[in-house]
Structure 1
Amino acid sequence: MQNTPNRNKPRSGKAGKGKQQPERSQTLIIPQISPEMLESARRAAMEGKTQHEIEQAAMEAEQRRQAETADAAQTAEPPRQPAPKPAAPRRKTRAEAEAELDQKIHDDHLWLNNPVMMRGLGLAPVIAAAYNWDNALMLCAAAVLLLTTTRVLAVAICHLTGNRFRPVIYAYSAAILYIPAYCILYAWFGTDLSVLGIYLPLLAVESAIIKRMESPELEPVGEALRRGINNTAGLCIAVLLVGFVRELLGAGTAFGHVIMEIAPLPIVQQPAGGFILLGLIAAAWTGIVNAYTHFKREEVRHQYAERRH
């Protein structure tokens, strides 16, 4: 009896091994083709170019498209981000609001803290010499040349000396600056300057100029310039106002032109009458300023009282 071969026995060799190995799947990678590449390839094919030339034209078209895209991205403006909202300002307290109001009143040398009407500075030249508009104008010009320059020069020297010898520095600064100031005034007004008499050189030691030396703190030069200009403007306003009123009431003229045939109060052109008139003007000025400042303080108090409720 012949042995029949076992059909179920697996075959050995390479064929058997080949059947046991799993079949591998192949992935087909298709390059991404842009519309520009297709259009360039189509044109090249219509022109009868070879396959290599068609591929080359398509690649050049793709490179041009990428370059144009990069240039457009560089030139494009970045998106604007919305501006951050400013933080809400902190509300002032009542004490801060009142302190700010007091500082504004102190710095207002034209009206609320006028050096002549409110502080009584520079009274001697105003009473004795400013009895008409022309004299008041000359005093105003002298104040412009002396007040601010003296203050700035004295403060600058005090910074160099460590704030020592302050009264001497202020007095000598005013005396030194008076010489060029007088030369300038004489060039402007000529011999009319002599009608001011001794009250013109008195400006060099007038309290409106050298009173600052009494303060213990030394202000910066820039602050001295700002305050000097404010004081000068306030003094000029007071001097010109008093000179105008005294000329109008004492001589019946204004700016040298006749306004009234008969002067109502000739006595106001004398020093005694000028003193009384200046006192009346200062009293009215002070009353109006006090009423205004009281109103502003009450306004601040009511405003912060409403916030509490």
Structure 2
Amino acid sequence: MTTTVGPYAKIARDGLWTNNPGFVQLLGLCPLLAVSNNLVNALALGLATMFVLTMSNTIVSLIRPVVRQEIRIPIYVMVIAALVTIVELVMNAWFNTLYNILGIFLPIITTNCVIIGRAEAYAAKNPVNRAAFDGLMMGAGFGLALVLLGGMRELLAQGTLGTDLHLLFGEALRGVHLTVIPDYQGLLLAALPPGAFIGLGLLIAGKNWIDRRYAARTAAPSPAPAAA
């Protein structure tokens, strides 16, 4: 019996796994590698990117009937730049320390190939509900790549997870973190730029291994029924 995958399930699967921006498309690698030195920084940039992706897809889908083809790319960039400016102002006002830590990698969300790519390839050709969900799932997939890489690097470099949670969630969480490896001396390489490249490579290899195992399992022939 053949099962039909609904459009929203396919969008979610593409964004989170099959066509993940970080692990499959390899887009947005500059912020992905630079900001993922710990879990909190990665999560903050992931949430910011997810917001911009969702809103830009929604707006592009809404305005697509009135935007001329000749000027569509500049219009998309203006929409994305306006949304990034909103994110910058909010973070500067409410999360100033994180705003300073992320630095240039907040404004360059405007030039993230994931965002402009989804606006052109999907949002400009689909209705608002699907475009918004596509932006949400692609943003979540990019955030997932950031969080996994950031968590892995923090764990290897410090033996902890969630250091500086208060920068994102408030002073109530100051000093709250998970110590995974007590009395750990740390692996300096994980905190340095080469550690980001090595970590991303390991995560991509792990995803490819899981995909191959799943493909082999689904392709294996079913055992023949026993004779009566």
Summarize the Cα distance change of 1:220–1:103 in structure 2 as closer, same or farther, 3 Å threshold: closer
Change (3 A) 1:290 1:210: farther
Is structure 2 residue 116 aligned with structure 1 residue 116? Answer: no
Higher relative contact order (CA 8 A, sep 6+): 2
Q: 1:271 aligns with which of 193, 196, 202?
A: 193
Residues 287 and 169 of structure 1: CA distance in aligned 2, closer, same or farther (over 3 Å): farther
Whole-angstrom CA distance in 1 between matches of 2:7 and 2:201: 25
Which residue in 1 is equivalent to 2:172?
none
Give the residue type in structure 2 aligned to 1:210: I
SS in 1 for 2:41: helix
Superposed CA offset, 1:260-279 (max 9, x none): 32344221111221111111
Is 1:283 the equivalent of 2:205?
A: yes
Among 193, 214, 218, the residue aligned to 1:292: 214
Structure 1 residue 255 and structure 2 residue 130: aligned? Answer: no
**Which range moves more in the overlay, 215-224 or 167-176?**
215-224
TM-score by length of 1: 0.59
What letter is aligned with 1:245? Answer: M
Paired residues for 1:91-240 under 5 Å: 107-108=12-13, 109-215=15-121, 218-240=125-147
Letter in 2 for 1:153: I
Q: What SS does the aligned partner of 1:110 have? A: helix
Secondary structure at the aligned position of 1:154 is classed as helix
* CA–CA distance in structure 2, aligned partners of residues 133 and 167 of structure 1: 33
Q: What is the CA–CA distance in structure 2 between the aligned matches of 1:150 and 1:102, rounded to whole Å? A: 20
Aligned AA (2:59): L
Question: Paired residues, what number?
Answer: 206
Q: Structure 1 residues 106, 224: closer, same or farther in 2, change over 3 A?
A: closer
- CA–CA separation in structure 1 for the residues paired with 2:195 and 2:82: 34
* Cα distance in structure 2, aligned partners of 1:294 and 1:186: 49
SS of the counterpart of 1:111?
Answer: helix
TM-score with structure 2 setting the length: 0.78
The answer to whether the Cα contact below 8 Å between 2:23 and 2:145 also exists between their aligned partners in 1 is yes
In the alignment, structure 1 segments of 5+ residues that lack a partner are 1-90
Say yes or no: does 1:243 pair with 2:150: yes
Q: Report the Cα distance in structure 1 between the residues aligned to 2:133 and 2:10, rounded to whole angstroms.
A: 15
Q: Is the 8 A contact 1:148 1:228 kept in 2?
A: yes
Q: Per the alignment, do residues 165 and 139 of structure 1 end up closer, same or farther by CA in structure 2, a change over 3 Å counting?
A: same
Deviations 1:120-162 (A, max 9, x none): 1221111111101221121122113211111211222222225
- Separation of aligned partners in 1, 2:185 and 2:120: 43
**C-alpha deviations, 1:61-103, integer Å up to 9, x for none?**
xxxxxxxxxxxxxxxxxxxxxxxxxxxxxx76xxxx7x95999
Change (3 A) 1:294 1:251: same
Q: In the superposition, relative to structure 1, how do residues 210 and 141 fare at CA in structure 2: closer, same or farther (>3 Å)? A: same
In structure 2, what is the Cα distance between the partners aligned to 1:119 and 1:293? 20
Identity, in percent, stands at 31
- The residue type equivalent to 2:48 in the other structure is A
Q: Go from structure 1 to structure 2 and tell me whether the alpha carbon gap of 1:191 and 1:107 turns closer, same or farther (over 3 Å shift).
A: closer
Q: State whether residues 129 and 136 of structure 1, in contact with CA within 8 Å, keep that contact through their aligned partners in structure 2.
A: yes
How far apart are residue 240 of structure 1 and its match?
A: 1.2
The answer to whether the 8 A contact 1:115-1:231 is kept is: yes
Distance change (3 Å), C-alpha of 1:263 and 1:123: farther
Residues 114, 163 of structure 1: CA spacing in aligned structure 2 closer, same or farther, 3 A cutoff?
A: same
1:252 Cα deviation after fit: 2.0
Greater CA drift, 264-273 or 238-247: 264-273
